[in-house]
Structure 1
Amino acid sequence: MPGVDEAPGGRPRQKRRASDVIRKISQILGELMITAGVVLILFVAWELWWTNVEADAKQTEAVKSFAQEFTGPVAPAAPADYGKPVVGTAPGHGETIGIMYIPRFGATYTRPIIEGTGSDVLDTLGLGHYGSTGMPGATGNFAVAGHRQTHGAVLDSIHTLVPGDKIYVQTKDGYYTYVFRNNQIVLPNRTDVLLPVPTQPGATPQESILTMTSCNPRFGSQERIIAYSVLDSWQPASAGPPSEIASQVAQAQGKG
């Protein structure tokens, strides 16, 4: 007959209890790991999908608001020399400077440019203007920042730009056409890319430069990718938009 410390068949009760405890612990750990996995998946979905949905809605609203106040025609302007570009004054933090169009990023790429680079701007409103830099058309550096994979992913395709690509900036004063020149990968502490002549302290600017900054690589932030473009031409709002973006301008104003 089994002893008092043994289960029927000779199995010790103590070993059976230990086995039950291990089984329960393993079950709990397994459930915790599954829960952690689900939470991680939900977080990734929120970060890569929902933040884009929310930001897209805010940016669309900002574009429409700017377009409704814009009084210029939407018919394409004939090529002409309109003299020196008008340089506007920076608005208050969180206010709209204008709209950026980048055909390389797609036929519908229309993003607002907002004053400021805080999270309140970059996480919802799109491209943020570095307040320490100039305005569109100014001699020197007009610099903006934007996210790549989240919060609207406004500069997700920054790495696809090739020399010669045109980037259009629309403000209440008119349209500024920049031509992409080159990009550069730097560490996050390289604030010299925002100087009047990027990376050249003390240099006197001779050109009007557009600098776009974003995180690098696409799914990380260990570095920064910097895209430089140079002003090629400008035309006043009263002349109408460049032909390449005329349909987008019309659509933004509800006339397309």
Structure 2
Amino acid sequence: MFVSKAFQALGRSLIILGGLTLLFVAYQLWGTGVLTDRYQSDLEEDFTELIEVVEESTSTTDTPKTSDTDISNYAELLWRPEGQAMAQIVIPKMGLTATVVSGVSSESLRRGPGHFPDTPMPGMPGNSAIAGHRTTWGAPFGNIEKLEPGDEIKIQTIQGSFTYVVLEQNAGRGNFIVSPNEFDVLNQNFNSSPNRLTLVSCHPKLTARNRIIVVAELIGEPAESFQRPDYLSQPRFTFSFDEEVIAEALGEDGFEDLSQGAIERDTSLLNEEEPEVNTQVEESNRSEISDVSTTQENLTPTTQPQQVSGFGEGLSGDRSAITPSITWGLALITLIMTTGFIAKRWRRWPTYFLSLAPIIAVMLVWFFNLDRALPSY
């Protein structure tokens, strides 16, 4: 009799576990998308208000913003805090129109595509990078593999609208695959087509094993370059380059010699190269920034080392969510066991009815934290 009861308890446990697994999968595939849609609706309104604020400020200002205060205020509007709206991206081939947020943390990528804060803003000189989920949380980059050479990517920031064209990779494709720790795709040291946009997502679908990369080239002149307000206080991070990987991914003509000697020469000549970069920006935007471009600290050299805390860290899972996941999981198990215990000693269906709402609430909180802890895709 004891063995029979044990098997019955085991069977019920497996049924409950299987049901929770199916519910969690449904939450990831569809429930997260509902939350992202709500985030995107609010972000779209925020970005529209941001554009209106900038336009109103510009229309009431007759003189160029040459003071340090003016430049700082404009930079704060351009470089938004973590998780806030900072651009809008439109990719017709993917059927995508989304508001881009600042940052690539787990919280940020739940809201929509996220901009790597240690790369230039879209439209600025350099290689701007944006990450997005491919399966969960609205799957903004769900069709990223459909992008082909020549497809357009349009981005709007408070500096204006910019158009990028997808570059051809190996075998005529518009993408290539790298491992999650290949920071080199965010490299700023380009010889040809230095003004780029790099899209990052998980590959293959339903996993976070690798990253799929799409690189696009800016059409036309870049916008004026503004430093991030906290840029000078940030520790620097120098990329470690894998020349064979980069040569295979983007072509040998797209990169300069990335040997150690070349990197050291680039670093030693950085101060000598800065005036040249400034001159290029000034010539391409002479009518707009004739006075501002004379401010040396206002321009961020595209060849400077970039700080990176994680390559798509929001795609790799949040370790800080492990403890809450375990805690809420145990709370759910306790609540289910308590419900079963009370149902045996009281009335079954009234007990189930009264405990349904608390179980659903605890389960959703557990799902939320469990999704944070696991690699997102």
Matched, 1:169 2:155: yes
1:54 paired residue among 35, 40, 46? 35
Instruction: Please state whether the residue corresponding to 1:70 is helix, strand or coil.
Output: helix
Does the Cα contact within 8 Å between 1:176 and 1:231 map onto a contact in 2? yes
Per-residue CA shift, 1:26-57, capped at 9, x if unaligned?
22222111111101011111111111110111
Q: Does the CA contact (< 8 Å) of 1:140 and 1:205 recur in 2?
A: no
Q: Which runs of 4+ in 1 moved over 6 A?
A: none
Counterpart position of 2:188? 196
Q: What is the Cα deviation at residue 21 of structure 1?
A: 3.5
Separation (CA, whole Å) in 1 of partners of 2:220 and 2:48: 22
User: Does the 8 A contact of 1:129 with 1:145 survive in 2?
Assistant: yes
2:209 matches 1:222: yes
Aligned residue runs from structure 1 range 94-173, under 5 A: 94-106=83-95, 109-123=96-110, 125-173=111-159
Contact 1:176 1:234 in 2 (8 A): no
SS of the counterpart of 2:40? helix
* Aligned-partner residue type, residue 182 of structure 2: R
Matched, 1:186 2:185: no
Which aligned pairs between 1:22-41 and structure 2 lie closer than 5 A?
A: 22-41=3-22
Structure 1 CA distance for aligned equivalents of residues 82 and 45 of structure 2: 19
Q: Between Structure 1 and Structure 2, whose CA radius of gyration is higher?
A: 1
Picking from 172, 181, 200, the partner of 1:213 is 200
Answer yes or no: is the 8 Å Cα contact 2:43–2:84 preserved in 1.
Answer: no
Query: Which letter maps to 1:140?
Result: G
Determine whether 1:65 maps to 2:20: no
> Which amino acid is 2:212 matched to?
I
Q: Secondary structure at the match of 1:213?
A: strand
Q: Which residue of structure 2 lines up, in the alignment, with residue 16 of structure 1?
A: none
Question: Which runs of no fewer than 5 residues in structure 1 stay unpaired?
Answer: 1-19, 74-86, 198-202, 237-256
Shift of 1:104: 1.1
Give the deviation of 1:153 after TM superposition.
1.1
CA distance in structure 1 between the aligned counterparts of 2:112 and 2:19, rounded to whole angstroms: 30
The one-letter code matched in structure 1 to 2:18 is: G
Matched-pair contact (CA < 8 Å) for 2:193–2:217: no
Cα deviation, residue 234, structure 1: 6.8
Structure 2 residue identity aligned to 1:211: T
The answer to whether the 8 A contact 2:83-2:103 is kept is yes
Deviations 1:93-134 (A, max 9, x none): 22322100111122xx321111111112112x2111111111
Q: How far off is 1:58 after superposition?
A: 0.4
How far, CA to CA, are the matches of 2:159 and 2:218 in structure 1?
15
What residue ranges of structure 2 are gaps of 5+ in the alignment? 56-73, 168-173, 224-377
Output the CA distance in 2 between the equivalents of 1:170 and 1:114.
12
Query: What residue identity is the alignment partner of 1:66?
Result: F
Letter of the 1:190 counterpart: E
The TM-score, its normalising length taken from structure 2, stands at 0.49
CA contact (8 A) 2:195 2:222 kept: no
- SS in structure 1 opposite 2:148? coil
Q: Distance in 1 between matches of 2:166 and 2:128?
A: 13
CA distance in 1, matches of 2:90, 2:208: 25
Per the alignment, residue 307 of structure 2 pairs with none
What TM-score, normalized by structure 1, do the two folds share? 0.70
Task: Provide the C-alpha distance between the structure 1 equivalents of 2:215 and 2:4, rounded to a whole number of angstroms.
Answer: 60
